[in-house]
Amino acid sequence: MTGISAAGMTSSERSVADARKPGGLLLMGSGGSLSHTRTATDAATETATVKGIRPLIAADQEGGQIQRLKGEGFDRFPSATVQGTWSTAKLTSRSTDWGKQLKQAGVNVDLAPVADVVPASQRSTNEPIGKLDREFGSTPATVGPHVAAFVRGMGAAGVATSVKHFPGLGRVRGNTDFSSGVVDDVTVRGDANLGGFAAGIRAGSELVMVATATYTKIDPANRAVFSATIIRGMLRGDLRYAGVVITDDVGAAAEVASVPAGERATRFVAAGGDMVITAKPSLTSVMVNALVQKAQQDKAFSALLQASVRRVLTLKQNHGLVSCS
């Protein structure tokens, strides 16, 4: 999933989308009106479509400070901390409305909701979530039902959701987009604060996004996106999740800058993941080439990659993005 401008692809972005036909496109920046965004997504879809298979078009549309698309035709909606005070019925209704606007704009995936639980005592020091008002609440009892309500609302509008950032960024300090060495030394396997993710999965979220932080009480040797214990063991095994597993950004994020770009993709798939996000379009070819090369050299990896492709194609088929001629 390659980053492109929400206002319309640049010439370099178009070249990447045309040459590599990425399975997804992530809208970056604020774009313009709903109608302008639709024009941009139609053009991007046409460019990236290959053999009747259209790309996923995604946006970060959480509300509050994290709302990419906010021009004319898009409701401005409040942060998750406010949404978390609403009844679940109200949140489902409102998120259905927001989802319909995304659908009209040509967006079929919302990289939301945040299922992370931020303890009340850590809100002021939690850079990625708490300080940006991105959490529904400070306990899984509050977060879980609201995650599910948001997922159901978007689903009713025909928009897939991605609960994030598994297994949670609520107890870290640094933001993995801008800092390296971000560590959670509290969360354990089976942690109660995973309840938001479990609720989102039960409600039908079709993607789960994995964090790039390291969880020392679960797998101290690997960041979550490279951890088979976290992806295969906890997400696929403990939570019985069978849908698409997607990375947080591993293109521009500071947390993974020390890892060669190709390895970011291959290590994620080897750990059980399916779809790689790079906010840097220039890294798309490097990552694609690394995946292909490793699959050609390693039969076991090739089988994992094929399984990932099937999960992504199933998601696309469920959203009418696959046409067989």
99 domain residue, yes or no: yes
Is 321 a member of any domain?
A: no
Q: Is residue 6 included in any domain, yes or no?
A: yes
How confident is the model at residue 325, as a pLDDT? 62
Task: Look at residue 250 and tell me if it is in a domain.
Answer: yes
Nearest one of 280, 278, 198 to 238, comparing CA atoms? 198
Q: How many CA atoms lie within 13 A of 19 on its CB side?
A: 14
Could you report the per-residue pLDDT of 11-32, keeping only the tens digit for each? 999 999 999 999 999 999 988 9
Report how many domains make up the chain: 1
- Is the residue at 125 inside a domain? yes
What is d(CA 262, CA 266) in angstroms, rounded to the nearest whole number?
A: 6
The CATH code of the domain that includes 7 is 3.20.20.300
What pLDDT, on a 0 to 100 scale, did the predictor assign at position 265? 98
Per-residue pLDDT, 30? 86
CA–CA dist 205, 161 (Å, integer): 5
**Is the confidence at residue 316, as pLDDT, over 70?**
yes
Element (H, E) at 3: strand 2-5
Task: Kindly list the distances between the CA atom of residue 137 and the CA atoms of 76, 119, 190, in Å, as whole numbers in the listed order.
Answer: 21, 8, 19
Separation of alpha carbons 316 and 323, rounded Å: 10
pLDDT(321) > 90: yes
How far is Cα 252 from Cα 162, in angstroms, rounded to an integer? 20
Token pair 């690394």: residue: 290
Decide if 161 contacts 152 (C-beta within 8 A).
no
Alpha carbons 273 and 269: distance in angstroms, whole number: 5
**Distance separating alpha carbons of residues 16 and 235, to the nearest angstrom:** 32
Q: Is the pTM of this model over 0.95?
A: yes
The answer to whether position 27 is within a domain reads yes
Cβ-based burial of 164 (10 A; exposed 0-12, middle 13-18, buried ≥19)? buried
- Which one, of 38, 51, 2, 47, lies nearest residue 23 by Cα? 2
Q: Which bin fits 23, alpha (ψ -120 to 50), beta or left (φ > 0)? A: alpha
Contact 109, 57 (CB under 8 A): yes
244 within 8 A of 206, measured Cβ to Cβ = yes
Q: Determine the 3-state secondary structure of 260 from DSSP.
A: coil
Is position 265 within any domain?
yes
**pLDDT tens digits, 125-174:** 999 999 999 999 999 999 999 999 999 999 999 999 999 999 999 999 99
Q: Which residue range(s) make up the domain with 17?
A: 2-316
Residue 53 has pLDDT above 70, yes or no: yes
| Within-domain flag for 324 | no
Residue 180 confidence (pLDDT): 92
Residue 324 has pLDDT above 80, yes or no: no
Query: What's the pLDDT at 163?
Result: 98
Please compute the mean of the pLDDT values over residues 44-55 and round it to a whole number: 97
pLDDT one-digit tens code per residue, 73-121 = 999 999 999 999 999 999 999 999 999 999 999 999 999 999 999 999 9
